[in-house]
Amino acid sequence: MGTTAHTSCEKEATTRRRKHQGTPGIAENNDSTRIPRLWRLEFPSEISASSLSFCGYGTTIIALLRNNKSPTIKRTAEFSNEPNSNNEGAVSSKISSLSSFYEITKVAKTQARGMTEEFRSSGLPWSGDECRSLIAGGSGVLYCLPALFCNSNPLEQSIWLTQALISVMADYVYVGGDSWIHGIDRFFATANTLLVIFRAALGLKIITTTIAVIPIYTFILANQSKQIMDLQGWIYLHFLWHLTSSIAVAFTVHLLHTCPDFNEEYSNSYSLLHSLCK
């Protein structure tokens, strides 16, 4: 039925064109009987005049869309494909921020659950024989580093030495099995992390708190590795968590114990302390 209608429209257009060509004295500007000139609409010449009739408007659209030589169509396509960099950047930034916030929230909930209802659970989807690693578990000894920079405070030294011992016990000796040591390790790690950040925010310039970003990020990635059952990824990232967090804490403890006594006179040796100490 569609083919018959289209053929009828073509015949109608052909009849009108013949009448127009054979009738002298018709003004050029008489639009009632004249077929519109293709060049005035910037249509390519290969589109037939019959497609411009009222009945054939659908054919006109299809022909234009299939033909990429028309300046009008080409410009329309270019305009529709122009990227809106500002909007895309804003949307991408919002998505990234929401994703990061979601991951941090999820890890915080998991950590809180591990200190309450799942206190004895290792939180690992593997057995002890599968995930016991000297790299991931033995690296907990690195938490002895902060103790080297707080000689003037024996209590703080004992806290970090205790943290190192508990970390090795939880992540190496009792890894993969249920034990009270897992909940104690989470409690110590969480409390010490928050305490160091709080002390840095009060006793140092606020920029020093950004040191915590890298360790926290590795901790989040290590938890993601557990969720996707990537054992090697977890071993590597848990080692990085121990490494980066112990170095960050040691550096922060060093600043906390050095800044109160450092000479504020400008010199090359004190330039770093001058930018970090209050």
CA distance 39 to 45: 8
**pLDDT class of 49 with cuts at 50, 70, 90:** very low
**pLDDT class of 229 with cuts at 50, 70, 90:** very high
What is the tens place of the pLDDT at every residue in 123-141?
Answer: 999 999 999 999 999 999 9
CA distance 17 to 37: 12
Average pLDDT over residues 71-83: 49
CA distance 148 to 153: 10
- Is residue 167 helix, strand or coil? helix
Share of the chain above pLDDT 90, in %: 53
CA distance 231 to 125: 9
**pLDDT class of 273 with cuts at 50, 70, 90:** confident
**pLDDT class of 184 with cuts at 50, 70, 90:** very high
Q: Where are the domains of the chain?
A: 2-81, 103-276
- Measured in Å, how far apart are the chain's first and last C-alpha atoms? 86
pTM over 0.85: no
CA distance 130 to 256: 40
Q: Which of 16-20, 58-62, 240-244 has the highest mean pLDDT?
A: 240-244
Which pLDDT score, from 0 to 100, does residue 277 have? 86
Cβ-proximal residues to 16 (8 Å cutoff; 6+ apart), any chain: 33, 35
The one-letter amino acid code at 131 reads C
Structure tokens at 49: 């005049």
Q: Would you say 163 and 192 are in contact if contact means Cβ atoms under 8 Å apart?
A: yes
- Is residue 277 helix, strand or coil? strand
Which pLDDT score, from 0 to 100, does residue 32 have? 46
Which pLDDT score, from 0 to 100, does residue 150 have? 94
What is the tens place of the pLDDT at every residue in 30-46?
Answer: 444 444 444 444 445 54
Which pLDDT score, from 0 to 100, does residue 86 have? 55
- Check residue 174 and report its DSSP letter: S
**Does pLDDT of 78 surpass 60?**
no
Structure tokens at 274: 């001058």
CA proximity to 250, closest of 173, 169, 177, 148: 148
- Check residue 53 and report its DSSP letter: S
The more confident residue out of 253 and 79 is 253
The more confident residue out of 168 and 28 is 168
Of all helices (H) and strands (E), which one includes residue 19?
helix 2-22
